Structures are given as structure tokens and as C-alpha cells.
Amino acid sequence: MIIRKSQSELDKMRASGVLVASVLSKLAEMATEGVTTLDLEVAAEKMIRDAGAKPAFKGYFVQAAGAKYQFVLCTSINEEIVHGMPSARRKLKSGDIISIDTGVQLNGYYGDSAVTVPVGKVSSDVEKLLRVTQESLELAIEKARPGNRLFDICGTVEDHVTGNGFSVVREFVGHGIGTQLHEEPQIPNYVDRKNENPRLKEGMVLAIEPMVNAGGPESRVLPDRWTAVSRDGSFSAHFEHCVAITQDGPWVLTRV
């Protein structure tokens, strides 16, 4: 069941979204050569706690891993797609890209967003990967309108990504969001005819998150049971926004 939110609920989700956006903006500035992913983690948790919010990821049980996640952030570098864990041993270096994904719970409602940023100088091919992934998200957001269907969002991501020579990750998807971090519907970044294709209605809130590999779409999970990487070792990018569907068009809750 897809839960539609009232205006007052959307306003609360907007507050969560603004906090997430602020945290990610500051972390993106911090993500420079020599910084560790644990440095980012410590800074993020302080910002979230100081704002009176709770980290959404820390303590979240994931069935596939068989455990609760232990961090505020997912920090996924280069070939890591999602769920990379912060570490004091992992220092960023020039030429890396890092996906920083985080969420908060504030006043009972969740916000969730991700951005992938370059560290120092990256190649033109990597710059294109980041640009195309972010473009696919923006194009998908434009489809988040009453009367459209879920596949309009999924297909828009897929078409833009594959049309530019990249591939969409199929094992991980976007999701609804509200009083739970993950709600219906699931939002693949491709058209999966086995899934339902609901019509989009006012009050739905969707966490749309393209995950795009420079090489093939296949992924695998490392022995740590969390970190997902591209199977061929190619770089991967990830961007995410929470988007409310309104009569006036898409409202991006996680953008300042």
C-alpha cells in the first residue's frame, strides 16, 4: 500500500529533507584528499544530533546482511555502488569519487538523500558518469507528477543512462518514504514489467535514486555483507532525492 501524505506531513518531511541537504552539502565540501570516511561520519553524526534529529541508518536492520547497520553514513568509493562503511583507514585520494548517502528522522518523519562527489581531479569519463547520473535523476523528478505512472520515472532513468553508454544497477532500487525509511513502492531504475506500475497521485513521496555503473550493470556484495560493488570493477555513481508529488508539480524535499 502506498501511503499518501497530508500537507502537514509533507511540511514535516520537508524539515527532515532540508536537514539532510544541509548535512550533505557540508560533507561534500569536506570530501577532499587525505580526509577519511570516518571523519565524514563523525561530522555527520554531530550535525544530525545537534539538530535534534536521529540518524536514519544507524541501527537499521537489513535482512540481507542479517545485522543492524552501525553507521550514520554510507560512504561508497569508486567501484562501490552503495552501503560502503566509514573507516578510519580509508583516506580519500585525488581521482576518487565518493557517494555519500544519509538519512534522518525528525519529528517522526524521514528524509533520505545521496550525492556523489569527485575528489580532486577526475578523468573526463568519470565526470561524464557523474553528470549523466545526476541528469537522469533530474529528468526522473520531472516525471513525478499526478497522472503519470511509476514506469515513467523508471524508464526515464534507464533511457538516459543507457543512451549515454552506461548501465543501471538492477539489484538496488529507490523507495517510498514517510514515517518509515522504506515504504512502498519500490522504484527500480529500469522498467521491470514484473513489478506493478501504479499511477502517481498527490501526496506520494518517492526516494528516487539512480545507481549507475560505468561498465556493466552486474554487482556483488563484499564479504563484509554490506558493501555492494560493480562486478567488473568499474566506477559507480549514486544520486538521490526525496520528491513529493503535488498538484503544482514535483516538490524536491531534500533540496535547499
Measured over the CA atoms of residue 211, residue 215, residue 220 and residue 223, the dihedral's sign is: negative
Please name the amino acid found at residue 133. Answer: T
Q: Which three cell numbers stand for residue 127?
A: 565526470
- Host H or E run for residue 124: helix 124-142
For residue 125, what pLDDT band results from cuts at 50, 70 and 90?
Answer: very high
Q: What is the pLDDT of residue 31?
A: 98
pLDDT in tens, 39-52: 999 999 999 999 99
The number of helix segments (H) and strand segments (E) in the chain equals 4, 17
| Confidence bin at 32 (pLDDT 50/70/90) | very high
Residues of the chain above pLDDT 90, percent: 99
**pLDDT at residue 195 in the model:** 87
Beta bridge partners of 113: 102
Instruction: Give the residue-averaged pLDDT of 20-47.
Output: 98
Domains of the chain from N-terminus onward:
7-252 (3.90.230.10)
Cell numbers linked to 244: 513529493
Percent of the chain surpassing pLDDT 70: 100
Mean pLDDT value across the chain: 98
Long-range contacts made by residues 152-158, C-beta under 8 angstroms, separation at least 24? 152/200, 153/187, 153/206, 153/208, 154/187, 154/188, 154/189, 154/190, 154/191, 154/192, 155/190, 155/191, 157/189, 157/190, 157/208, 157/210, 158/189, 158/190, 158/191
Q: Is the pLDDT of residue 162 over 90?
A: yes
∠ Cα 105 139 79 (to 5°): 70
| The pLDDT value given to residue 247 | 97
pLDDT digits (tens, 9 = 90+) for 173-215: 999 999 999 999 999 999 999 889 999 999 999 999 999 999 9
* 4, pLDDT greater than 90: yes
How far apart CA 20 and CA 3 sit, in angstroms, is 22
